[in-house]
Amino acid sequence: MDRSYRWVIVAAGGLLGCVAAGSMFSLPVFLRPMSEATGWSVTGISTAMTFGFLAMAVASMLWGGLSDRFGPRPVVLTGSIVLSGSLALASQAETLVAFQTLFGVLVGAATAAIFAPMMACVAGWFETRRGLAVSLVSAGMGLAPMTMAPLAAWLVTRHDWRTAMLIVAGLAAALMIPAALLVRTPPTLAAGSAGAPQDGSSSGMTVRQALGSPQFITLLLANFFCCATHSGPIFHTVSYAVTCGVPMIAAVSIYSLEGLAGLFGRIGFGVAGDRYGAQRVLILGLLAQAFGVLAYAFVNELTGFYAVAIIVGFIYAGTMPLYAVIIRENFPLRMIGTIIGGMAMAGSLGMSTGPLIGGLIYDRVGSYAPMYFASWGLGLAAMLVLMTFRPFAGPRPGALAPA
CB-CB neighbours of 245 under 10 Å: 11
The pLDDT value given to residue 403:
40
3-state helix, strand, coil in the chain (%, to 5): 80, 0, 20
Instruction: Report the Cα–Cα distance between both ends of the chain, in Å, rounded.
Output: 21
- Predicted TM-score (pTM) of the model is 0.70
The pLDDT value given to residue 195:
41
What is the percent of the chain with per-residue pLDDT over 90, rounded to a whole number?
31
Exposure string (b/e) for 310-335, b if CB count within 10 Å is 16 or more? bbbbbbbbbbbbbbbbbbbbbbbbbb
Over residues 252-307, the pLDDT tens digits come to: 788 778 878 887 888 888 888 888 888 999 999 999 999 999 999 999 899 999 99
Angle at which helices 144-158 and 161-180 cross, to 10°? 140
3-state class of 131 per DSSP? helix
The pLDDT value given to residue 1:
47
Low-confidence ranges of the chain (pLDDT < 70): 1-3, 128-130, 142, 145, 188-203, 393-403
The pLDDT value given to residue 399:
52
The pLDDT value given to residue 199:
38
The pLDDT value given to residue 352:
76
Domain locations in the chain?
3-183+206-386
DSSP 263-298: HHHHHHHHHHHHHH-HHHHHHHHHHHHHHHHHHGGG
The CATH number assigned to the domain with range 3-183+206-386 reads 1.20.1250.20
The pLDDT value given to residue 190:
59
Over residues 85-115, the pLDDT tens digits come to: 999 999 998 899 999 999 988 998 999 899 8
